[in-house]
Amino acid sequence: MKRVVSGIQPTGNLHLGNYLGAIRNWVRMQDEEPGCLFFLADLHAITVWNDPKDLRANIRAMAAALMAAGIDPTRATLFPQSLVPEHAELAWILNCIARIGWLNRMTQFKEKSGKDREGASIGLFAYPVLQAADVLVYKATHVPVGEDQKQHLELARDIAQKFNTDYETELFTLPEPYIQGRAARVMSLRDGSAKMSKSDPSDMSRINLTDDADTIATKIKKAKTDPEVLPADPALLDGRPEARNLVAIYGALADQSEAEVLAQFEGKGFGAFKPALAELTVAKIAPITARYNELRQDIAYIDDVLGKGAARARELARPTVAEVYETVGF
Ligand code: ADP
Ligand code: NA
């Protein structure tokens, strides 16, 4: 049986990039595989400074966004990592398996710690070990990984293998990558070379999941473009990052390739394309926004879903930790 496990950091101010690049993929996974486990990676979130008020709100905001987008807590198990202490318990054991040299090779730590490597938290350094625990604690068979996470999945496999070898056991399953369709990478509406991000100071650069239809239309109307018309051949969008981004957003929302989108708009300028894109965006996003805004008011419901999800997750995680404790001699 396939067991798919995936985590996402709880962030606030969710935008179209988060939806098309991350949230929507989970909905597709849930529809493809029964019994997915999805967690909000709040233990990971505090590896860098996170204001407690923001973190608490962002955990619920992300849970609301996921459910608004289609995660069904009766089919998938949705929970915050911190409510399942087995993640941290197993991470400690795995810290004793992983080698400093292995972690020193992780490129993400080098990127995230920047110049002040000595000033980074131990948690940031050990982050990939917690990630290994996140999936091994459920004996996950498949883990979706983006390009930037491939190295961490390899590490999880190495840790699992070393544990199995050191303790002469077959306790851990070595997780495989779960291959998904090409994930959309959404760029800023103001600059085709920067990704759409909550940290961009200009609100015009992104479409927020809380924007109403008029705001969405205005932002798309004002999006940076060029005076050329759209070509039939996607290769002719090379060197036109803003144009390509809008075509890519249309394609992601309509489930069409660039070529399919261009076939409909070939020879048309942005005066014609933008209203069509705005209409499509509103059609796809407005129902999610409505549910998101509604759910976010119902904190009791969100907390109930997350509490029940955590209880279900613990039923799976507890036996693994018990087995591990027994194996290491506790
Ligand atoms: P932000 O850049 O706004 O701070 P996060 O880093 O919190 O976003 O990302 C949360 C999730 O959303 C991650 O899985 C990330 O890959 C995805 N994501 C964020 N921005 C984009 C984007 N512009 N295009 C595609 N996916 C994105
Ligand atoms: Na970010």
Which pLDDT belongs to residue 146?
77
Q: Work out the average pLDDT over 309-314.
A: 98
- Indicate the class that CATH gives domain 203-294: mainly alpha
The Å distance, Cα 109 to ligand 2 centre, comes to: 14
- Indicate the class that CATH gives domain 5-184+298-328: alpha beta
CA distance 17 to 194: 12
Which are the contacts of 59, defined by CB distance < 8 A and separation ≥ 6?
Answer: 10, 40, 42, 80, 306
Helix axes 213-221, 270-297, angle to 10 degrees: 150
224 labeled part of a ligand binding site = no
Q: Work out the average pLDDT over 148-159.
A: 93
Q: Work out the average pLDDT over 304-315.
A: 98
Q: Is there a contact between 40 and 63 (Cβ–Cβ < 8 Å)?
A: yes
What are 257-292's pLDDT values in tens digits?
Answer: 999 999 999 999 999 999 999 999 999 999 999 999
Quick one: which ligand is closest to 112's CA? 2
Catalytic residue list contains 221: no
What are 178-196's pLDDT values in tens digits?
Answer: 887 766 789 999 999 999 9
Quick one: which ligand is closest to 45's CA? 1
Q: Work out the average pLDDT over 144-168.
A: 93
**Residue 19 token pair:** 């939806």
Report residue 152's pLDDT band, with 50, 70 and 90 as the boundaries.
very high
Q: Work out the average pLDDT over 303-326.
A: 98
Quick one: which ligand is closest to 21's CA? 1
Which pLDDT belongs to residue 184?
79
Beta strands per DSSP E along the chain: 5-8, 37-40, 77-80, 142-144, 176-178
Q: Is there a contact between 23 and 69 (Cβ–Cβ < 8 Å)?
A: yes
Q: Which of 14, 18, 188 to mutate to test the pocket of ligand 1 (most atoms within 8 A of CB)?
A: 18
Which pLDDT belongs to residue 274?
98
CA distance 204 to 131: 34
The Å distance, Cα 197 to ligand 2 centre, comes to: 7
For the chain, give every domain's residue range: 5-184+298-328, 203-294
Note the pTM of the prediction, 2 decimals: 0.92
6 labeled part of a ligand binding site = no
- Return the residue whose CA atom lies nearest to atom 19 of ligand 1: 18
134 labeled part of a ligand binding site = yes
- Above 80 in pLDDT, residue 147? no
Which pLDDT belongs to residue 1?
85
Q: What are phi and psi of 5, to 5 degrees?
A: -130, 135
What mean pLDDT value characterizes the chain? 95
CA distance 165 to 163: 5
How far lies 269's CA from each of 11, 81, 144, 210, 243, in Å? 36, 47, 38, 29, 10
Give the percent of the chain with pLDDT over 70.
99
What are 10-64's pLDDT values in tens digits?
Answer: 988 899 999 998 899 999 999 999 999 999 999 999 999 999 999 999 999 999 9
251 labeled part of a ligand binding site = no
Helices (H), 120-196: 122-136, 150-166
Which pLDDT belongs to residue 271?
96
- Return the residue whose CA atom lies nearest to atom 7 of ligand 1: 11
Which pLDDT belongs to residue 12?
85
- Return the residue whose CA atom lies nearest to atom 11 of ligand 1: 18
Catalytic residue list contains 112: yes
- Above 80 in pLDDT, residue 242? yes
Q: Work out the average pLDDT over 237-254.
A: 96
Q: Which of 112, 162, 274, 308 is catalytic?
A: 112
Please list every protein residue whose CB sits less than 6 Å from any atom of ligand 1.
Answer: 8-9, 11, 17-18, 20-22, 184-186, 195-199
